[in-house]
Structure 1
């Protein structure tokens, strides 16, 4: 567990707040902090855009956060898709030939491959019995197919699931040596290896949003806890890793927020609200 840092100066500049979901905004019981919606209303009144930034697919985020669909930004698939106020404004593309190469590597390395689009997750039917209930926590619409090699939909991310929680070993020993430099690779907790097109990450999604909304990344604040959040925290001016973050995240988070169990996201939001109100009064 990391020790929270003092609140930095300059929070009155913040024009966008982005947060990861699991182990960051959500408690370990999968619950939102009390009072989060009231804080978001206050932030919007103060001109601050709110963004959810997750490795989950867009359809799942819309289901989990229906109250945010029409007034916030949803960054899904680790930056593979961006929806602003309900409309998709960006979607990355993995060419079918590259997806099939990744499927072939999965069969060589092990793990369970998942082809992701903003709406559908494609998984081979032979894994349904062991994975269906668990996968529906992350993917709203799953299409069980006989062979991933036959899928010809436009993907924005490819994920490999490791039920034995050895994703870091697989990333370090297999995927990174094979693919570094060609794709963006990210570790999602202990069970996921994510493969995205080169240049696609939560950090690049915030850069794209900044161009669309006219907000400098130096005036953005972000929360995250693990390595698929690393580029996002490194990109923004106010990058807060959570106190419960994975070891090694201190290389990317400039500041440390209280843990998800202590509602650290809300605590820092309150500081932003106070700073912006003080600026209006001065």
Structure 2
């Protein structure tokens, strides 16, 4: 299977690159809205680059592309920023060692220490996937013991709660924002040609990174609150895929299908 079947210009030479979260963002909105976005990307691959920036692991991402017909990304920032990888023509994800070395050093092989330290903490259920540079839990809000946060900090690591149901333990200073900026710099993509899109708190660091960004209309309330007043962030009314298209048009990043009227309150961001 060849996933990038036709030759394309280098991603840095394209007019626009979408760096998008998956759940609730690229996968959000109605079936019709998703199809409109996906078909537009496929019809414009010479001028549109695609990077997935997600909490999901690479194998899950590739399975989604194979089985659900998503446009294949050219690069992936996965595992909440702890994986930075290229998508090969055969559909396999290949980590970029030069970009992951610092992440591995910051993690310091602390997975076993994290699991032992948080074992038995109320409200956390360990996820079975063997991530390389993170440990992740399902979180039960009404049973959660916030002592977990202190314990993680004592290990010299970061913690992140998103969608009020996930608890991630990450290397210090590593998350979606720093990793997407590192990848964009490595590829030579002008920052003004990028749009970061997200909907939950694990997208916060990406959306406040200074890159052009959109919080789609279905974003969780805590994220919207943290983004208030940020002049690089467009607040879409459209959900998921529709919100992405809305922002592309509002910020003049590319000619794209129009799905929703741009709210007057957002017009001040035009050209940001």
The alpha-carbon distance between structure 1 residues 237 and 70, as it changes in their structure 2 partners (threshold 3 A), is closer
Deviation at 1:43, TM superposition (A): 4.5
Q: How many residues align?
A: 221
How big is the shift at 1:73? Answer: 1.4
Which one of 112, 115, 119 corresponds to residue 103 of structure 1?
A: 115
SS in 2 for 1:248: helix
CA distance, structure 1, for counterparts of residue 222 and residue 65 of structure 2:
30
Alignment partners' CA distance in 2, 1:161 and 1:232: 22
Residue in structure 2 matched with residue 58 of structure 1 by the alignment: 58
Which residue number in structure 1 is paired with residue 199 of structure 2?
225
2:95 matched residue in structure 1: 88
Q: Secondary structure at the match of 1:267?
A: helix
Structure 2 residue aligned with 1:49: 49
Residue 35 and residue 262 in structure 1: after superposition, are their counterparts in 2 closer, same or farther (change >3 A)? closer
The aligned runs of 1:42-191 (5 Å cut-off) are 42-46=43-47, 48-66=48-66, 72-86=74-88, 87-89=94-96, 90-91=99-100, 92-93=103-104, 94-96=107-109, 98-110=110-122, 111-114=124-127, 121-122=129-130, 155-162=132-139, 164-166=140-142, 170=145, 173-180=146-153, 182-191=156-165
Provide the residue aligned with 1:243 in structure 2.
217
Cα 1:41–1:176, aligned 2, differ >3 Å: closer, same or farther?
Answer: same
Alpha-carbon distance in 2 for matches of 1:51, 1:223: 11
| Cα RMSD, aligned residues only | 3.0
Matching residue of 1:39: 40
Cα distance change on mapping 1:68 and 1:156 into 2, 3 Å: farther
Q: Is the partner of 2:221 in helix, strand or coil?
A: coil
Alignment gaps of 5+ in structure 2: 1-13, 89-93, 257-272
> How far apart are the structure 2 equivalents of 1:237 and 1:64?
27
Asked if the contact 1:69–1:85 (Cα under 8 Å) also holds between the matched residues in 2, the reply is no
Equivalent residue in structure 2 for 1:259, among 238, 241, 249: 238
CA distance in 2, matches of 1:53, 1:224: 9
The corresponding residue for 2:175 is 201
Rounded to whole Å, the distance in 2 between the matches of 1:183 and 1:31 is 41
Write the distance in 2 (CA, Å) between the matches of 1:108 and 1:73: 37
Q: Is 2:138–2:167's contact at 8 Å kept on the other side of the alignment?
A: yes
Distance 1:59 1:32, change over 3 A: farther
Task: Give the C-alpha shift of residue 260 in structure 1.
Answer: 2.3
CA shift for structure 1 position 176: 2.6
TM-aligned CA distance change 1:199 to 1:32, over 3 Å: farther
Q: Tell me if structure 2 keeps the 8 A contact 1:19–1:222.
A: yes
Tell me, which stretches of 5 or more residues in structure 1 are unaligned? 1-12, 116-120, 123-153, 276-282
- TM-score when scaled to structure 2? 0.70
Closer, same or farther in 2 for the Cα pair 1:107/1:30, shift >3 Å?
Answer: farther
